[in-house]
Structure 1
Amino acid sequence: MRRDYNLSKDFPIHITRWVPLTVLEPFHWHNAFEVGYCFEGKGQFYFEEKRYEVRAGDVFVVSHMEKHRAQSDAAMPSTFYFVKFDGSLMRGTENELLTPFIMKSKHFVNRIAGDAQIAPQIGHLMHEIWKEMQEQNRAYKSMVRGLLIQVCTLLFRYFSKEMSTAEWSRSLQAYNKLQPALRLIHERFSEDIRLEHIAECLALSPSRSYHLFKETIGEGFKEYLTKIRIQESKKRLRDPNASITEVYLSCGFQSQSAFYRAFKLVEGMTPKEYSHYIIMS
């Protein structure tokens, strides 16, 4: 099932019912926040080097640009509700509600077990979001946003018990500070963006800008920019009429060789192999 969705600028949220394959697929990521609820079956979920067993009732939090993949049990395939949304939907609420989605600590546990008190509450809210998005009755956007805020509030209350107030505060302040640079990259990824442009945007030195990226996103500016470009190229590669040259030039790569090297490094396959994979899936 296709996982790469373009979020609407007017209402940047998408929900899907997802059944992972029983074979292990390549890692993928999104430049948005995600929360998933497994309502039946079992399997495994991987977040980079972390691995979790999946059982019905479990909740999973996926942070911005975090590599992840899931695999269903062959005998009892897992089925999820997955909500992907942009942080702009939280405007007007308490900023801290996004904190669980921006934690980059290796010690952060992405899974909330189904026997936790909030897990069935989140599952119910996710089901209501699904219904509202399917039916689209009058004022459904307001209803969906309200349900999402409840989900994020429950997640914040749960995870805030696991980490110190100082650590939450540092992560949130750093993420908010980085926002202008992230917007610049997302809007102008096809251009020749350099660390000096990021530093000017943030009113920081190039060295401090680099470290802010590393501390907040978990990788440097160049690595992040490359991942955004690769993510956009994957969307364009889904068009059977698009040529490789059109794709890499429109995504900010200066040559086909540079595009192939970056794509292979990030995705573990070449652009042509990815195109074939998309056709077969």
Structure 2
Amino acid sequence: MRLSEDEIEISYGKTILFYQSITESGKRRGIYEHHHTAIEISLCCKGSGAYIINGKEHPISPYDIIIHASDEPHYLTKIIEGEAIEMLNIRFEPMLLWSDKELSWLMQFFMKENRCRKNKISSSNPIASEISRLFLEIKKEVDTKDVGYELMVKTLLINILVIINRAYTSIPENYQIEGVSHTSKQLEKALMFINENIENKLTLDIIAQSAAMNKTYFSSCFKKLNGISLWDYITIKRVEKAIELLKTTNLTKIDIAMKCGFNSSANFYKAFRRVTGKNPSFFSRGNN
């Protein structure tokens, strides 16, 4: 469960989600394999167990750092009986980086070409203590919300990403991510269009047209920069919106399906199983 959650708006359509979570042993609800469009970095503050990421087990204990790139299936498990794992988590869409010319190089760590990419930085690694310190500074900024805290959170996150890229990237410094230099603005428009029309019928023709790009090239650049295919992105966003409605309203499942852009209940259930491994009922208001 999430003890606290703050969505920090950096600019229109670009946010950083910072939340504190606690997962108890023996509590199966909330522990399920899932994946999302965002990048997520987490600090284990208390407890021990294991993270399963892309089918690989990563034991975790206090001050370990866990990193999920876009579309990486993951879940917590093996929590010691009678204990709980407490974590600080920061989540953001890749667009926060690649849409900014000065920050786009920070995407290098998350690129498939990076042979040094890791999902876990052990507490015994010297950079883990520095990242932990930055996490705690972010928490302090979010808790106090002094003037300009949004900029401070972004700056501290950039510091974390610089440290990670310095330590774990095999990509040459002069490497240019395909599509960043001359298509980032068009792709940004397309993402805004998708997010604002997620409940409507979306086709590759319509989306590529919103970006004023060739369909094939658009699809290639989209996956390269976001780490996920266009249709997987749309499906996950629709499921995320549906989960929020299931948790907060009494709408029927078929009404929620229609509000989230699914054209049939069969596709609605299929998408949930694919993204979360669960049926929609798992997330309904009465079960939370």
Classify the TM-score, shorter chain. Answer: 0.7 to 0.9
Provide the residue aligned with 1:20 in structure 2: 23
Cα displacement (A) at 1:10: 5.3
Task: Give per-residue Cα distances to partners, 1:146-203, cap 9 Å, x unaligned.
Answer: 222211221221222xx22289633684994744433332222112111122333444
State TM-score, norm by structure 2.
0.80
Whether contact under 8 Å (2:2, 2:21) holds in the other structure is no
Task: List aligned pairs for 1:21-40, cutoff 5 A.
Answer: 21-23=24-26, 25-40=31-46
Is 1:56 matched up with 2:59? no
Is 1:73 matched up with 2:82? no
**Structure whose residues are more often helix by fraction:** 1
Task: Give per-residue Cα distances to partners, 1:84-110, cap 9 Å, x unaligned.
Answer: 23556655743212433x434696321
Q: Give distance in 2, aligned partners of 1:44 and 1:73.
A: 7
Cα displacement (A) at 1:123: 0.2
Identical positions, percent:
24
Whether contact under 8 Å (1:7, 1:85) holds in the other structure is no
Aligned residue for 1:226, secondary structure, equals: helix
Aligned residue for 1:165, secondary structure, equals: coil
Q: Give distance in 1, aligned partners of 2:175 and 2:24.
A: 35
Task: Give per-residue Cα distances to partners, 1:249-278, cap 9 Å, x unaligned.
Answer: 111112223322322333222212332xx6
Say which of 115, 118, 141 aligns to 1:132. 141
Partner amino acid, structure 2, of 1:29: H
Whether contact under 8 Å (1:230, 1:263) holds in the other structure is yes
State TM-score, norm by structure 1.
0.81
Task: Give per-residue Cα distances to partners, 1:23-51, cap 9 Å, x unaligned.
Answer: 56212334433211113322111223232
Return 20-29 or 59-68, whichever deviates more.
Answer: 20-29
Q: Give distance in 2, aligned partners of 1:3 and 1:184.
A: 32
CA distance 1:3–1:271, shift in 2 (3 Å): farther
CA distance 1:125–1:9, shift in 2 (3 Å): closer
Partner amino acid, structure 1, of 2:90: V
Partner amino acid, structure 2, of 1:48: N
**Structure whose residues are more often strand by fraction:** 2
Return 114-123 or 19-28, whichever deviates more.
Answer: 19-28
Aligned residue for 1:37, secondary structure, equals: strand
Provide the residue aligned with 2:111 in structure 1: 103
- Show structure 2 runs of 5+ residues with no match: none
CA distance 1:44–1:131, shift in 2 (3 Å): same
Q: Give distance in 2, aligned partners of 1:4 and 1:225.
A: 27
CA distance 1:222–1:49, shift in 2 (3 Å): same
CA distance 1:31–1:155, shift in 2 (3 Å): same
- Show structure 1 runs of 5+ residues with no match: none
> How many corresponding residue pairs?
276
Q: Give distance in 1, aligned partners of 2:63 and 2:91.
A: 19
Provide the residue aligned with 2:53 in structure 1: 47
The two structures, once aligned, show a CA RMSD in angstroms of 3.3
Q: Give distance in 2, aligned partners of 1:261 and 1:203.
A: 32
Q: Give distance in 1, aligned partners of 2:147 and 2:223.
A: 43
CA distance 1:216–1:128, shift in 2 (3 Å): closer
Is 1:149 matched up with 2:149? no
Provide the residue aligned with 2:241 in structure 1: 232
Provide the residue aligned with 2:266 in structure 1: 257
Provide the residue aligned with 1:184 in structure 2: 193
